[in-house]
Amino acid sequence: MDENYEKSGKIVSKVRKKAMEMVKEDLKVLDLVEFTEQEIRNLGGEPAFPCNVSINEITAHYTSPYQDKTVLKLGDLVKIDLGAHVDGYIADSAVTVIVGGESIANPESALSEDEVHLQIKMIETVTQALENAISTVKDGVNVGEIGRVVEETVTAQNLKPVSNLTGHSMERYILHSGLSIPNIKEDNRHKIMEGDVLAIEPFVTNGVGLVTDMKEAYIFRFLRDRPLRMAQSRKMLQEIVQNYRNLPFAGRWLQESMKSRQFNLVLRNLISSRALYPYHVLKEKSNARVAQAEHTVIVEPEGCRIITK
């Protein structure tokens, strides 16, 4: 088991670095997510979920839909969240980068000098919050203590953690296995235990610190088998179970073999019948920009092992 977690972690670490280096002005988001997912496969893993590329106030759950035309712009604050699994053992990590780097001298950027400084501060703060949170992790620690450390690190910089997003525990083939790791102080007495696999992922903003659902959803997960009248719906659900089990998948992974109108009809049928769960794109409620950092750790008696470093 540990060996497969280590393999997944090394894959994620290598691919994360390559994805960061790829970020540049006018890059298609579709090219970035497809590169990231294919590179995971090239290194011997499988994507544990579609690569998320969430820009500026978009906080999470954005992956390119089929034939996406979205491009990165100079000054964009880009969160890349990727996961790999080897035989179901998952590693999950995220990083935030600024398109065009952190130079404030670029005259073509739409951002003011103060705005660039703020984005740099947000990245530095979320990175420090992640490090501080990880330093508290060991057998027997309350999850509320991890949230307290994140919140105190962030508010000390006059920024806010996103309070309604959390980290999560993971198990084989299960990305969110029931335990939430808060990013704010909570009266939560649940203790983490040796052997727990946790994704610690603070989010930092200068906005109100809440996310809200958008109407769009490009990522889905199998929920349960349902009686379906449409033959195409039954066929697609069978393909989903066979290829992805309970792990999230992208609509574009299925769409290439079907016309868009037909695909959307089948997808709506699967969602309305509650065979599939849609992950709606999340954005910061006040439309402020958000930075994210994330590592996967395995809890040990006196600390933890970071497998995605």
Catalytic, 113? Answer no
| Separation of alpha carbons 91 and 43, rounded Å | 14
Q: Are 248 and 221 in contact (CB under 8 A)?
A: yes
Paired tokens of 29: 């988001």
Catalytic residue among 37, 201, 284, 295: 201
DSSP 192: P
245/242 Cα distance (integer angstroms): 6
108 is catalytic: no
Q: Which of 81, 151, 196, 284 is catalytic?
A: 81
Q: For residue 291, give the nearest of 33, 19, 79 by alpha carbon.
A: 79
List 34, 39, 92, 151, catalytic entry: 92
- The answer to whether 81 is a known catalytic residue is yes
From the list 168, 186, 196, 295, the catalytic residue is 168
Rg (alpha carbons) of the chain, rounded to whole number: 19
> Does residue 122 contact residue 288 with C-beta atoms inside 8 Å?
no
Residues 85, 145, 294, 295: which is the catalytic one?
294
Indicate which residue of 176, 239, 280, 300 is catalytic.
176
**115 included as an active-site residue:** no
Catalytic site includes residue 300: no
Three-point CA angle 254, 257, 261, nearest 5°: 85
CB under 8 Å to 277, separation ≥6 — which residues? 220, 221, 222, 223, 271
Give residue for tokens 């703020």: 118
- Is 31 catalytic? The answer is no
At residue 18, what is the residue type? K
> Which positions are catalytic?
81, 92, 168, 176, 201, 294
